Amino acid sequence: MSSKKTGGLAGVVAGESAICTVGQGNGLNYRGYSIEDLAKYATFEEVAFLLQFGELPNKIELQEYKEKLTKARSLPEKLKNILENIPKNAHPMDVMRTGCSALGAIEPEFNFQSEQDRVIIRLLGIFPSILLYWHHFHKDGTKLDTNSDEDTIAGYFLEKLHGKSPSQDVRRCMHVSLILYAEHEFNASTFAARICASTLSDTYSAITTGISVLRGPLHGGANEAAMKLIDSFDGIDEAVKGVYKILEDKKLLMGFGHRVYGEDGDPRSPIIKSWSKKLGGDTDTFKISEAIEKVMKKEKPQLPTNADFFSASAYRFLDIPTDYFTPIFIMSRTTGWAAHIKEQRANNKLIRPSSQYIGVENRNYIKLGDR
Ligand code: CMC
């Protein structure tokens, strides 16, 4: 397991789960529903309910769930103070991680069996408020008013970011993006959150763990990194030359490749690409993105675009700042993390694998003065 090719637990089945299939000849399904159907017909709140409770909600259940999520947007004064004291130039992922952890100290979970669903809903509801309170306080010195007529996370986030209600297409694209990012089996952040839960730790700690692991550019941070790559090129010719140079230098192109899907491709990618095209197909950003994709298809067909590549341009067309891309991933993936935390707890066994020792053996201890 120590070489690069066999490392990273690639191909290792690390446990059972009834939440999601990734690949396996079956595409991406959440609790048996295809990602294509969910992205076409569902709202993000229906998907969040499905992941949290195992079934799609009926009308009354959905209404009650949305009311709880809306109530959960409010920020305690102590958390506002903390957000005001996080530096203006901090990375928004630091804001989200700190906000989650701080809420765990302000509104602790004493008994996860009876309180986990309340805490999950609280976090889902409050995450947009955490980011946007910090954003507005440091950008224009205003304190976010969490009251809104928008009754969905997508609508609320966009309204509070831009100061106006989003258009229908923009709101729907946000729902789709949140649906696509919601769950993905034993990806690194979910597995880490499960490990945390397996020690019988609390929900806030497990979600904070997920946030910390999501941040890296090999995982959720790839959407931000992909946007920076696209932005670094002035036009199509420069982008084509730039991609060849990156490949020549054996560097990574963010937003390409996937551990599980491999060359079959990530089923989320065509869905978010179609939204990116719909909202910004005639822009340089979209044309450069497609040019990069074209070179990769020709030179590295085994590394197709993953969900993050066209999410980047889609978010640009929603007028979302680049360093908020991965925090949005948190607002969505909290549903998947939560489903896995609950599943882990329902049949818990401490996750504690072993390693193969490859270090030095049998050394004689040398006293400090003799070294
Ligand atoms: N650009 C250039 N080369 C690549 C890329 C890429 N994006 N991805 C893999 N390769 C190369 C890699 O360097 C290796 O080459 P070699 O055999 O010469 O050493 C070969 O392809 C096999 O790659 P690997 O690193 O063994 O594959 P992995 O399964 O460990 O990595 C991955 C999967 C997603 C980490 C990787 O494809 C990658 O780093 N992609 C860029 C980051 C990215 O987009 N991450 C988002 C992942 S999906 C959604 C999410 O979680 O957010």
Please indicate, yes or no, if residue 100 is contained in any of the structural domains. no
Mutating to test ligand 1, I would choose from 303, 315, 325 the residue with most ligand atoms within 8 A of its C-beta, which is 303
Q: Is 62 in the pocket of ligand 1 (CB under 6 A)?
A: no
Specify whether 136 is catalytic.
Answer: no
Residue 263 lies in a domain: yes
Residue 94 lies in a domain: no
Whole-number Å distance, alpha carbon 253 to ligand 1 midpoint, is 8
pTM of the model: 0.96
Q: How far apart are CA 193 and CA 108, in angstroms?
A: 18
What residues of the chain score a pLDDT lower than 70? Answer: 1-6
Question: Which tokens is 365 given?
Answer: 């201890």
Decide: residue 68, CB within 10 A, 0-12 exposed, 13-18 middle, 19+ buried.
middle
CA of 41 to the centre of ligand 1 (A): 32
Q: What is the pLDDT of residues 97-121, one digit of tens each?
A: 999 999 999 999 999 989 999 999 9
Establish how many alpha carbons lie within 13 A of residue 149's alpha carbon, considering only the half-sphere containing its beta carbon: 4
Rounded CA separation 225/253 (Å): 9
Q: What is the DSSP string of 70-116?
A: HHTT---HHHHHHHHHS-TTS-HHHHHHHHHHHHHHHS--S-HHHHH
Helices (H) and strands (E) in the chain, counts: 16, 3
3-state secondary structure of 14: coil
On whether residue 197 sits in a domain, the answer given is: no
The pLDDT of residue 6 is 57
- pLDDT value for 262: 87
**What's the angle, vertex CA 260, arms to CA 259 and CA 264, rounded to 5?**
110
Q: Does ligand 1 come within 6 angstroms of the Cβ of 218?
A: yes
Cα-Cα end-to-end distance for the chain: 34
For the CA of 223, the nearest atom of ligand 1: 52
**Are the CB atoms for 334 and 210 separated by under 8 Å?**
yes
For residue 287, what are the domain limits? 222-317
Q: Is the CB of 268 under 6 A from ligand 1?
A: no
Rounded CA gap, 101 and 248, in Å? 42
**The total number of structural domains that make up the chain:** 1
Residue 232 domain flag? yes
Which of these is catalytic: 135, 219, 266, 340? 219
Is 94 known to be catalytic?
A: no
- DSSP H/E element including 177: helix 168-181
Q: Tell me if 159 is assigned to some domain.
A: no
Residue type, 81: N
The phi and psi torsions of 29 (rounded to 5 degrees) equal -135, 135
Laid out side by side, the sheet with 33-34 consists of 20-21, 29-30, 33-34
Q: What is the phi/psi pair of residue 215, to 5°?
A: -60, -35
For residue 26, the model assigns a pLDDT of 83
- Ligand 1 pocket residue status of 328, Cβ below 6 Å: no
In a domain, 257, yes or no: yes
What CATH number should be reported for the domain holding residue 232?
A: 1.10.230.10
Angle at 332 between CA 286 and CA 255, to 5 degrees: 35
Residue 250 in domain: yes
Q: Six-digit token pair at 318? A: 């929603």
